[in-house]
A and B are shown apart, each in its own frame.
Chain A
Amino acid sequence: NAGVTQTPKFQVLKTGQSMTLQCAQDMNHNSMYWYRQDPGMGLRLIYYSASEGTTDKGEVPNGYNVSRLNKREFSLRLESAAPSQTSVYFCASSEDGGPGGDTQYFGPGTRLTVL
């Protein structure tokens, strides 16, 4: 099993450009999440999907959109990138029911720089 995979691993964008971060999991998990990690701030939840067909905002959703394409895939889109979105982005998945009690499994991350 590959677990949680993310593409790309690195990306440099110019202000105003758009891009989509891809995430896939092969563990048949129901819930998937997108986080951003900034120095000294831990991980902050951007969006999550408790089950296929549903998405909900997390702590820092502004400037992002998500799509739960199917049970395996959950993408994160930046429509008009800003320097404040320079960060490391992690996708995660868990077996069931929302982000609170389940163990989450993380992908390797995407390092995004917006110039």
Chain B
Amino acid sequence: AQSVTQLGSHVSVSEGALVLLRCNYSSSVPPYLFWYVQYPNQGLQLLLKYTSAATLVKGINGFEAEFKKSETSFHLTKPSAHMSDAAEYFCASGSARQLTFGSGTQLTVLP
């Protein structure tokens, strides 16, 4: 069975600082990989998706993620945090019939 591990359930950064949210997956073959964002009291929205076309994936709102097969990682980054980035972020791994979510990372942006 697949699993997705997000290191750090809570991450705090200052406004303007680098955002780095970590995600590792377990899969015997390169999976589909996703990052979703959830704002308070809302459903999940897709930030970006890896489909093997390119290892560096650019998403919405200035986020990007890099697929590293050797490290089984798909970390999410943003060069400069904005207050509006405060939310919960979920990494997910998909195979043909199952999408597995990590436990989520709550991002706090400090003024």
- CB contact under 8 A between A41 and B97, given known A90-B44, A100-B32, A103-B46: no
How many residue-residue contacts, CB under 8 A, span A and B?
Answer: 59
Q: Which A-chain residue is minimally distant from B93 (CB atoms)?
A: A100
CB pair B104–A4 under 8 Å, yes or no, is: no
Contacts of B41 in A (CB 8 A): 108-109
CB distance from A114 to the nearest CB of B (A): 20
A101 lies within 8 A of chain B by Cβ = yes
Q: From residue 33 to 67 of chain B, which have CB atoms closer than 8 A to chain A?
A: 34, 36, 41-46, 49, 51
Give the size category of B's interface with A.
20 to 34
A42 lies within 8 A of chain B by Cβ = yes
CB distance from A93 to the nearest CB of B (A): 11
CB distance from A19 to the nearest CB of B (A): 20
- CB contact under 8 A between A101 and B51, given known A40-B9, A42-B90, A106-B43: yes
Q: Which B-chain residue is minimally distant from A42 (CB atoms)?
A: B101
CB pair B43–A90 under 8 Å, yes or no, is: yes
B99 lies within 8 A of chain A by Cβ = yes
User: Given the complex of chains A and B, what is the CA–CA distance between A58 and B46 in angstroms?
Assistant: 21
Give the size category of A's interface with B.
20 to 34
CB pair A41–B96 under 8 Å, yes or no, is: no
Contacts of A44 in B (CB 8 A): 101
CB pair A107–B43 under 8 Å, yes or no, is: yes
Digit string of A13-56 for contact with B (CB within 8 Å is 1, else 0)? 00000000000000000000000000011111100000000000
Other A-B contacts than A42-B101, A100-B94, A108-B41, 15 sampled, CB-CB below 8 A, are A40-B104, A41-B103, A42-B4, A42-B104, A92-B44, A99-B97, A99-B99, A100-B32, A100-B98, A100-B99, A101-B94, A101-B96, A104-B44, A106-B44, A106-B45
